[in-house]
Amino acid sequence: MVRPFSLLVKPASADCNLRCEYCFYLGHCGFYPETRRHRMTDEVLATMVRTYMATPQPTYQFGWQGGEPTLMGLDFFRRVVGCQQQFGRDGAGVANGLQTNATLITPEFAAHLAEYHFLTGVSLDGPRYLHDKYRLTPAGKGSHEEVRRGIRRLQEANAEFNILILVSEANVRDPAVVYHYLCDNGFLFHQYIPCVEPDENRRILPFSIAAEEWGEFLCRVFDLWYAADTRRVSIRLFDSVLALLVDNVRNICPFGSNCCQYFVVEYNGDVFPCDFFVEKRLRIGNVTEDSWETMQQSPIYTSFGQQKSVWHERCDTCPWLWICQGDCLKHRLCTGGGDPRHLSGLCNGWRMFYEHTMPRFRELAEVVRQDRRRFAAESIPRGPGSVPGRNDPCPCGSGRKYKRCCGR
Ligand code: SF4
Ligand code: SF4
């Protein structure tokens, strides 16, 4: 019996048209040395989509990532949709996400993403002087201008997008600058990601941030958001805390107690357990040779996943264990010599954040419950057809889409 899972696909492997200094996946460029140019073939694509869509899933979730997945070109993404239409059963829900630097987004590409409702995540670290410190072209030039051009094209096509902000040494001391820059430009969906990268000797690299810096950054962003924007701006981490408080749903993998959450599929069909652990020793199988059920039951996969709940003894008595679950394995294994009981390098930051925000998160959770009760009461007398569609404005007046607000 197959448990629900999603796919994170790297159709161009680690190939990228940029050379961001802090990119963890660029180090994988030599992972498949048989060729310099890595591109998923139509055969691997079709096999992956066909076999995945033959498994029972509430929604078929594809995340297209890299490297830079748009190097595959628009025709590849047309074939993606073609395969999904060919192999999907009637009524099967399909969700596509694309994580991109946006520099190769053409008007036609943006129109395709809009037409098929891809949710595009664009990497943008703030205003030019912060973004251009590490997000560089191969010639060493900043990429900010090209990223903003890609975003404009997404906007002109009415494509849905959110902004992925890597919080590094460059911008960690400027939470208000980053937050206001995004909001002032109308970018209201944010995902903040901590940059913590060790070298091969487990020494933290200089563009990484410390736990206290991460905690301070999150607390300041929370204060700004809470003061004025809870109904206007969506921040992935904050939404996930609320989803846990309101619905008891753990919708980001670090909040889970097991890391058997999804599969990474590399350009040649090789399958791995996690984006941060694409390593030869963790190769679970290949989509052209192994069934999803076999791979899900693989000892490599299950033993990898079980490490999540083997945490440091400090976690046992931590008041935030119910949500933090010892933190992401990346922040434990990479600096802990492969021992999941190593304390997360971000532990003090998470503690600072939860202590500072949880009373207000609990208040907000109660507001969401009240909104839902009011909405349910108001919508019942109006009968069938009164419930908004997922993309309609939320009737609670937040200005957000229903699926991002009370319909969550
Ligand atoms: S290691 Fe981190 S990113 Fe990977 S599945 Fe576990 S929690 Fe998620
Ligand atoms: S905040 Fe620190 S001690 Fe608490 S569960 Fe997370 S990693 Fe463990």
Q: How far apart are CA 308 and CA 325, in angstroms?
A: 7
313 vs 390 pLDDT, higher one: 313
Position 381 pLDDT exceeds 60: no
Q: Which residue has the tokens 């630097």?
A: 101
Contact assessment for residue 194 and residue 346, using Cβ atoms and an 8 Å cutoff: yes
Token digits of residue 17:
């048209």
pLDDT tens digits, one per residue of 204-224: 899 999 999 999 999 999 999
| Distance separating alpha carbons of residues 261 and 398, to the nearest angstrom | 32
Nearest atom, ligand 1, residue 331 CA = 2
CA 88/CA 291 separation, integer angstroms: 18
Contact criterion met (CB below 8 Å) for 109 and 77: yes
Helix (H) or strand (E) holding 97: strand 94-100
| Distance from chain centroid for Cα 46 | 24
Beta carbons within 8 Å of 88's beta carbon, 6+ residues apart:
53, 60, 94
Residue with tokens 């299950």: 302
Mean pLDDT in the chain? Answer: 92
Q: How far is the CA of 375 from the centre of ligand 2 (A)?
A: 37
Active site members: 275
- Kindly state the average pLDDT of the residues 74-89: 96
Q: How confident is the model at residue 388 (pLDDT cuts 50, 70, 90)?
A: low
3-state secondary structure of 128: helix
Say which ligand is closest to the CA of 6.
Answer: 1
Distance, in Å, from the CA atom of 20 to the CA atom of 6, rounded to the nearest integer, reads 27
What is the whole-number distance in angstroms between the Cα of residue 75 and the centre of ligand 1? Answer: 31
At 1 the pLDDT is 84
Cα four-point dihedral sign 66, 67, 72, 74: positive
Residue 384: the pLDDT is 40
**Cα(47)–Cα(269) distance, integer angstroms:** 9
> 319 C-alpha to center of ligand 2: Å?
8
Amino acid in position 358: M
Nearest in space to 11 (alpha carbons), one of 107, 108, 82, 79: 79
Q: Which two tokens stand for residue 298?
A: 């693989």
3-state SS, residue 161: strand
Shortest-distance ligand to the CA of residue 346 = 2
Q: Which residue from 102, 64, 121, 112 is spatially nearest to 267, judged by alpha carbons?
A: 64
Confidence of residue 385 (pLDDT cuts 50, 70, 90): very low
